[in-house]
């Protein structure tokens, strides 16, 4: 027997880090919200809440504060007090210090699995949110006064309708595809290898970004004296790196990174992620919006992907709340969101892509120029501050949540 059609105000496809953040931001609003997620939050195979750790910018902290979630996130977060950026074998170095700039921290490192547990608990506490999981999106139809979503849950086909569908279903977004929105994809021919590393010396809450001739690597401070490694390697080397035993892996990493953290003692499980710049050619249609990785997938070089996604959340949540007594899915409402987000999205995408290209290149004039740039940033405070405000998510016209203020 065909199930009765369920009606919502808003359906979010994808309960990953960005989709769950949007649902939490709209918790307790007078809107009936359905979150369709393919994989249970705490499953090993969950692609968003996996073995990675991510660096949350200070601006993401403000958004969690506005959402009333910061006190919970704080318990699972390790502060980044300083950032040290260097180019292996060259003179350029830049340092950033939260205390000098008047912030309690430049950012925070959280484990994705911990965030997944936190979001699952939080979503279950809101009476206006229904988590539809595990369930797969099968079809999307846009009508004049609603959007229709077909899903498969427990082997049964169900139809849901809503005023607005938000695609938060990641880089291979089915919403994007089913809505016929094209995208561009530029393969970096690189993979990010991640692992947790225990160094010999205390990390002292310093995040290290080191550019090397075989690709950039970041070591971020984590709980229990560990560091979270993101090591970018060329695609043709990744199988070799993944096949090394732990001893060889640590020795090669030590050789690339140097001795700033003492002798590297232990490496946890490794995982590799192929890297590409993916951009949807449109982010809104009548009754549809794309956010997070469904709209833009970035290289992790500057730790900006989720941070950009949660800023999408802050703007979209505000636009939805302001329109909630009318129709939240009409194009005029969604255009406000799109126009608001465009500058930040363009800046961060350009900055991230530029960094990858400049630091993946060993042509001598470029090496000299980037090292001069690092040095200039270190000694010219206004240049450093402008870059910090952008990467910390504090630039431009900020939505209420991004200023740490509740939506209403």
**Which positions touch ligand FAD (CB under 6 A)?**
13-19, 36-39, 47-48, 52, 54-55, 136-137, 168-171, 174, 192, 194, 230, 273, 292-293, 300, 303-307, 309
Least CB distance from residue 211 to ligand FAD, whole Å? Answer: 16
**Cβ proximity of 210 and 216 under 8 Å:** yes
Nearer to ligand FAD, 192 or 319 (CB): 192
Least CB distance from residue 344 to ligand FAD, whole Å? Answer: 13
Nearer to ligand FAD, 37 or 158 (CB): 37
Least CB distance from residue 158 to ligand FAD, whole Å? Answer: 13
Least CB distance from residue 52 to ligand FAD, whole Å? Answer: 5
Beta strand 33-36 pairing with 129-132: parallel
- DSSP letter, residue 217: E
Nearer to ligand FAD, 219 or 323 (CB): 219
**Cβ proximity of 30 and 321 under 8 Å:** no
Nearer to ligand FAD, 34 or 367 (CB): 34
For residue 96, which of 53, 57, 52, 54 has the smallest C-alpha distance? 57
Nearer to ligand FAD, 134 or 354 (CB): 134
Interatomic CA distance for residues 335 and 398, integer angstroms: 17
Nearer to ligand FAD, 278 or 367 (CB): 278
DSSP string, 108-125: EEEEHHHHHHHHHHHHHT
Tokens 């369709």, located at residue: 36
CB burial of residue 340 (10 Å; 0-12, 13-18, 19+):
buried
Beta strand 217-221 pairing with 227-234: antiparallel
Residues 157, 159, 164, CA angle at the centre, nearest 5°? 140
Report the 10 Å Cβ neighbour count for 318. 22
Nearer to ligand FAD, 264 or 280 (CB): 280
Least CB distance from residue 253 to ligand FAD, whole Å? Answer: 16
Residues 112, 151, 133, CA angle at the centre, nearest 5°? 35
Edge-to-edge strands of the sheet including 156-162? 6-7, 156-162, 147-153, 136-142
Least CB distance from residue 405 to ligand FAD, whole Å? Answer: 22
Least CB distance from residue 85 to ligand FAD, whole Å? Answer: 15
Residue nearest to ligand FAD (CB): 16
């Amino acid at each position: 027997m065909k199930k009765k059609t369920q009606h919502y105000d808003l359906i979010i496809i994808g309960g990953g880090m960005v989709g769950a953040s949007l649902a939490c931001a709209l918790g307790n609003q007078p809107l009936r919200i359905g979150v369709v997620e393919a994989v249970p939050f705490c499953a090993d195979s969950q692609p968003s809440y996996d073995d990675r750790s991510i660096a949350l910018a200070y601006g993401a902290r403000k958004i969690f504060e506005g959402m009333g979630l910061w006190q919970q996130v704080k318990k699972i977060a390790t502060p980044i007090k300083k950032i040290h950026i260097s180019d292996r074998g060259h003179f350029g170095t830049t340092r950033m210090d939260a205390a000098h700039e008047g912030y309690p921290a430049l950012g925070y490192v959280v484990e994705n699995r911990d965030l997944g547990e936190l979001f699952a608990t939080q979503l279950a506490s809101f009476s206006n949110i229904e988590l539809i999981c595990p369930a797969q999106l099968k079809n999307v139809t846009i009508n004049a006064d609603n959007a229709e979503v077909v899903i498969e849950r427990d082997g049964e086909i169900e139809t849901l309708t809503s005023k607005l569908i938000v695609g938060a279903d990641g880089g291979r977004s089915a919403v994007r595809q089913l809505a016929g929105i094209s995208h561009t994809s530029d393969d970096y021919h690189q993979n990010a290898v991640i692992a947790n590393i225990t160094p010999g010396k205390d990390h002292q809450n310093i995040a290290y970004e080191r550019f090397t001739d075989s690709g950039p690597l970041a070591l971020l401070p984590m709980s229990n004296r560990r560091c979270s490694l993101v090591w970018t390697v060329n695609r043709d080397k990744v199988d070799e790196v993944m096949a090394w035993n732990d001893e060889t892996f640590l020795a090669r990493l030590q050789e690339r990174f140097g001795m700033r953290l003492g002798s590297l003692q232990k490496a946890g499980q490794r995982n590799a992620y192929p890297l590409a710049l993916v951009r949807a050619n449109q982010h809104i249609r009548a009754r549809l919006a794309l956010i997070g990785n469904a709209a833009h997938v970035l290289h992790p070089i500057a730790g900006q992907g989720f941070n950009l996604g949660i800023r999408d959340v802050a703007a979209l949540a505000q636009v939805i709340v302001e329109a909630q007594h009318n129709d939240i899915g009409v194009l005029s409402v969604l255009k406000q969101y799109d126009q608001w987000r465009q500058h930040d999205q363009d800046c961060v995408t350009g900055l991230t892509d530029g960094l990858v290209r400049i630091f993946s290149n060993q042509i001598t004039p470029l090496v000299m120029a980037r090292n001069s740039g690092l040095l200039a940033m270190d000694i010219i405070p206004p240049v450093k501050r402008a870059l910090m405000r952008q990467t910390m998510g504090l630039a431009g016209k900020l939505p209420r949540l991004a200023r740490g203020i509740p939506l209403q």
